[in-house]
């Protein structure tokens, strides 16, 4: 290695991608790959050319340098002055290493290691296989390495020796059956697991199949071990009863009670809860007299999970939360344990850690619940269950969907774009359903009994209403008949009067004619 020449950057390297594609060094590399399409060749040449321009050397000089190129590869990955992202630079380094291994140059780039060394740094085959998963997480790489390492230990061979032997599908299946039998005999039982699960066996099959597909292009199906069916149905989280909430509060101190009430009455996620500062709610607090606080506090808050421009939602805090927040701040400003007072500013975190300095941490609610449930010797209640409880109780109480989603901080889409309500309206709706949903002095069973009585009263009122409607209908018919009778009687009276007038006229005519006849008879007689 001491005889290898170092090439200093000359600053005159300016080879194009087209010239590099037809280079014999790369042409031999393309032929060894099963995926030698035009797009792959152009992309690979562009990647190599990007590194060569950074180094200002030719590809022939790069191959000649050999293992002495390792420090430059590490420097290239950590060079933040380049326009490309670090993940892109890692891909480029991986391609350079593949090219140099193909030409049998034993180069090993420096890798970040944790407590254990889990790379086969001395085995080029394993390094090539791990380069296929360069963007995978460390846990995934450890699984791959563990599976191949166990398989090589069973076969008593290295990965390079595995790909050098002549093999077919039947032999691979035979080795896999023996490997699983050997693995079960040498299996170390983990917590709550006494034997190898089908899921673990299937993962090993996928890794070993991928290994043979990469180097042998062999494709096979292992019918003895079918893919296990996994139940992906999410477990339903039950609501938190008021009795459970009282048990949690019974052993909680001021800070823990504040967090419990904050989760119970607001339904906030841990990230959103721990992001509330004193400046947001100082107008609703009363540090001198914690009992004298308003029934509810509502303010606009930024969703910490998404941090979009339009991700504001209505954060509501109940009276008990405001009460314990005031008590907690009172303790923080008069903390004799540390010998001095804390100066509360608008940027001070409310739902903070328990000790000085009172800083923000999204794990505060979970740690609080874990410690309380550990003392009660019960299953840990997660903040997500409080959030589920908040939404479920308001839904059962009949709160409008749009208002619930605004309390939860969910995206409302076009409905939220055209809906602009004042905070007073949200406070009014929240206080309307607060006694039933979150008031611990009222039992859920009592509310159910009241609901049943209310339903019975509503049914009775509905029956009375139907009877009244029938009576009103009959009264209407009678009034119509009376009116028609009155109209008919009026018409009858007019007819009688006319008839009487006609009779009088006729009678007068008869009297006149009779009188005339009598006068005429007198004159004749």
Query: Sign of torsion, CA 331 332 337 341?
Result: negative
CA 211/CA 136 separation, integer angstroms: 16
CA 37/CA 35 separation, integer angstroms: 6
CA 20/CA 52 separation, integer angstroms: 11
pLDDT at 299: 92
pLDDT at 488: 61
Query: How many angstroms from the chain centroid is the CA of residue 115?
Result: 33
Per-residue pLDDT of the chain (525 residues; tens, 9 = 90+): 333 333 344 444 556 666 777 788 887 777 777 666 777 778 888 888 888 888 788 878 777 766 566 677 777 777 767 767 777 777 888 788 778 777 766 554 444 443 333 444 456 677 777 776 666 777 777 788 888 888 888 888 887 788 777 777 788 888 888 887 787 777 654 444 556 676 777 778 788 878 877 777 666 666 665 555 555 555 566 788 888 899 999 999 999 999 999 999 999 999 999 999 999 999 998 888 888 899 999 999 988 877 666 678 899 999 999 999 999 988 887 765 545 567 888 888 899 888 766 788 888 999 899 899 888 888 878 888 999 999 999 998 889 999 999 999 888 878 777 888 899 999 999 999 888 888 888 776 666 777 777 777 877 777 777 777 776 776 666 666 656 666 665 556 676 677 777 766 767 776 677 667 676 665 655
Please count the CA atoms within 13 angstroms of the CA of 264 that sit on its side-chain side.
Answer: 27
CA 427/CA 265 separation, integer angstroms: 13
CB contact at 8 A, 226 and 429: no
Fold of 242-439: hpI Integrase; Chain A (1.10.443)
Nearby residues of 265 by Cβ (< 8 Å), 6 or more positions away: 316, 317, 318, 320, 321, 390, 438
3-state DSSP assignment of residue 515:
helix
Nearby residues of 203 by Cβ (< 8 Å), 6 or more positions away: 143, 147
CB contact at 8 A, 315 and 284: no
pLDDT at 439: 86
pLDDT at 45: 82
Q: Which of 162, 372, 158 is nearest to 259 (CA)?
A: 372
Task: Give a three-class secondary structure readout of 100-160.
Answer: HHHCCCCCCCCCCCCCCCCCCCCCHHHHHHHHCCCCCCHHHHHHHHHHHHHHHHHHCCCHH
pLDDT at 217: 67
């Amino acid at each position: 290695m001491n005889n290898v020449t170092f090439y200093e950057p000359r600053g005159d390297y300016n080879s194009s991608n087209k010239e590099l594609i037809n280079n014999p060094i790369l042409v031999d590399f393309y032929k060894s790959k099963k995926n030698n399409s035009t797009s792959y060749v152009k992309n690979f040449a562009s990647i190599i050319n990007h590194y060569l321009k950074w180094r200002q050397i030719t590809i022939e000089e790069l191959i000649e340098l050999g293992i002495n190129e390792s420090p430059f590869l590490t420097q290239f990955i950590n060079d933040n002055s380049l326009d490309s992202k670090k993940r892109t630079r890692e891909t480029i380094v991986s391609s350079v290493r593949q090219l140099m291994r193909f030409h049998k140059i034993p180069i090993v780039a420096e890798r970040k290691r944790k407590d254990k060394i889990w790379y086969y740094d001395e085995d080029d085959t394993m390094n090539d296989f791990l380069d296929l998963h360069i963007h995978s997480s460390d846990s995934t790489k450890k699984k791959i390495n563990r599976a191949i390492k166990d398989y090589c230990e069973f076969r008593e061979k290295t990965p390079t020796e595995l790909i050098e032997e002549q093999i077919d599908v039947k032999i691979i299946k035979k080795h896999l059956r023996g490997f699983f039998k050997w693995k079960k005999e040498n299996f170390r039982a983990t917590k709550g697991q006494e034997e190898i699960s089908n899921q673990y066996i299937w993962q090993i099959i996928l890794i070993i199949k991928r290994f043979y597909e990469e180097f042998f292009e062999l494709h096979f199906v292992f019918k003895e071990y079918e893919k296990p069916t996994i139940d992906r149905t999410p477990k339903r989280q039950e609501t938190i009863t008021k009795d459970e909430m009282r048990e949690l509060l019974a052993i909680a101190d001021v800070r823990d009670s504040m967090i419990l009430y904050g989760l119970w009455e607001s339904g906030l996620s841990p990230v959103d809860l721990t992001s509330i500062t004193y400046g947001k709610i100082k107008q609703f607090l009363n540090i001198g007299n914690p009992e004298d606080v308003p029934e509810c506090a509502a303010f606009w808050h930024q969703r910490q999970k998404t941090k979009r421009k339009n991700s504001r939602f209505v954060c509501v805090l109940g009276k008990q939360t405001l009460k314990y927040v005031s008590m907690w701040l009172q303790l923080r400003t008069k903390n004799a344990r540390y010998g001095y007072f804390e100066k509360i500013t608008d940027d001070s975190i409310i739902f903070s850690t328990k000790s000085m300095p009172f800083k923000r941490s999204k794990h505060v609610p979970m740690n609080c619940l874990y410690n309380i449930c550990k003392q009660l010797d019960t299953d840990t209640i997660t903040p997500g269950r409080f959030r589920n409880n908040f939404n479920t109780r308001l839904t059962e109480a009949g709160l409008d969907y749009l208002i619930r989603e605004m309390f939860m901080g969910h995206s409302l889409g076009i409905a939220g774009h055209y809906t602009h309500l004042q905070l007073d309206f949200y406070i009014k709706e929240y206080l309307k359903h607060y006694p039933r949903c979150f008031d611990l002095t009222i039992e859920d069973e009592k509310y159910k009994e009241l609901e049943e009585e209310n339903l019975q009263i509503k049914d009775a009122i509905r029956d009375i209403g139907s009877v009244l409607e029938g009576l009103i209908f009959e009264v209407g018919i009678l009034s119509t008949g009376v009116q028609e009778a009155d109209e008919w009687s009026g018409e009858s009276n007019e007819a009688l009067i006319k008839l009487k007038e006609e009779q009088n006229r006729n009678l007068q005519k008869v009297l006149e004619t009779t009188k005339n006849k009598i006068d005429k008879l007198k004159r004749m007689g």
